[in-house]
Structure 1
């Protein structure tokens, strides 16, 4: 459940959209946007694997 909550971080792509429109500053928007988007996308398969009880996903949880 805790990993699944991070799927919402896919919306970090909105930071990139605002950056492209010059509405957010450069140091913040690209780093936060890409970081949130990658974290949200990684949370989808990780939450699914953990929900199925696959032990191979546990080291990825720590990563």
Structure 2
């Protein structure tokens, strides 16, 4: 298996990378936001069921007297 960063042969200790350096490069890319999962803007998503009922909580049937 080739290292996804530099294409050298991967080492079992750092799999799928060849070294700690390449593993750190990959981690840095994730932390900077270089890798993204494609999708639509979050504003277009419908709210969750739990967010529709903020005033009474998720379980409205079990209200205290």
Tell which has more relative contact order, 1 or 2 (C-alpha 8 A, sep 6+): 1
**Max Rg structure:** 2
TM-score > 0.5, shorter chain as reference: no
| Structure with the larger helix share | 1
TM-score (norm 1): 0.27
TM-score (norm 2): 0.26
